Amino acid sequence: MNAINLEPEIWTAEVVYTGFGTPMLDGGLVVVGEHVAAIGGLEELRQTYPSANIIHRGKALTPPVVNAHTHLDLSKLSLYRGSYTGFIKQVIAGGAERGIDAARMGLNELEVLRVGAFGDIVARDEVMDFLLEHSPLPGVLYREVLGSNPDQADEIFNSVKPKFLAWKRREGRAKVGISPHTAHTVSAPLMKKLVEFAGLEDFPVQIHIAESPEETSYFRDNSGPLAEFMAPFNPSWRGPGISPVEYLADLGLLGPHITLVHGVQVDENDVQIIAQAGCKLISCPRSNEGLECGIFPWSLYGKHNVEVALGTDSSGSSPDLDVRKEALFLWDKGIDPRVLVRAATRSGYRALGLEAVRITRGTPISQVQSW
């Protein structure tokens, strides 16, 4: 057996974050053996441990990261680059590739990446059963519900309600949530039923919203490629002349138990609505770039103190499921790296309603990630 080195080392990085407080630009962790012995400013640690070697560990030292938004059952889908509506068509065309095998691939990738938790949008009952039974990782499994025809709202809700209640009784490491897919694929009456049910039964909720310019056009005046695509599914739809965020707000559906995903195509009024409602938000930067969705307005969300986490979306719209690469993708684009590190860790746990993992004195170094 190899002897454990008990000489103190000071680990540092461009950003050091313990999972609470403010991420440090000139911070460090003192490591003795297999545990963290001290945390603080780099100069302070140097003075306290003058003989310790200083080891630079890359861009960031953090608790385990969180991928707050995935679609594991799309893990067999080929990477797509093009319009949002084109991607939706590819997802539909690749339906035969969805299922337990694809979800297992995605789950294995998350394990290899050593994520601390994940949020997954689950499209099929058998995948929900599989993940509830076999996920070794903590997280939230949001069963996706679709139905754009308002005449079918009661039928769809009554069919999924008992399933959600049964799944909730089987929760283990992974919890159960609800995902009314988007404001344009879920009718207003069905959306209301699902969100109200979630509030009453304490299910967390994720809703895709304001992802692409095509979605904005669909809501503003029922124009553009998404409107053409959606016409057969909801022929009675007339653009309400407002943004997707305003649409959800007017339905009275936004609140602290709602997490919104994407939120790219927003203005200041939209962000104020999100902030006042207490919603959290998940950004998927590489997916948004690949699907021509636009640039996420980090400064605007920061101005209104909206908590933003990070996700990858699916392997069909992002090169992999490594949420650290989402942060590194933005690192040199002018986004404060402290914001990105927090988004990849603490904000992810909070978006999923899970207890945040922290680095403290005595934390095993196996719980410290360098990236």
Tokens of 96: 């035969």
Beta-carbon contacts of residue 320 (< 8 Å; ≥ 6 apart): 109, 312
C-alpha dist (Å) from residue 97 to 6, 103, 265, 282, 364: 50, 10, 30, 26, 39
CB 300 within 8 A of CB 329: no
Task: Round to whole Å and give the CA distance between 303 and 234.
Answer: 37
CB 210 within 8 A of CB 261: no
Annotated catalytic, 211? yes
- Stated length of the chain: 371
| Burial state string for 334-366 with b = 16 or more CB within 10 A and e = fewer than 16 | ebbbbbbbbbbbbbbbbbbebebbbbeeebebe
CB 62 within 8 A of CB 32: no
Task: Round to whole Å and give the CA distance between 371 and 366.
Answer: 14
Task: Round to whole Å and give the CA distance between 346 and 343.
Answer: 6
CB 233 within 8 A of CB 227: no
The gap between the terminal CA atoms of the chain, to the nearest Å, is: 29
List alpha helices for the chain, DSSP H: 42-48, 84-93, 100-113, 125-134, 153-168, 188-201, 213-221, 225-230, 244-250, 268-277, 285-290, 298-303, 323-331, 337-344, 346-351
- In the set 9, 211, 214, 307, the catalytic residue is 211
Which residues are designated catalytic? 211
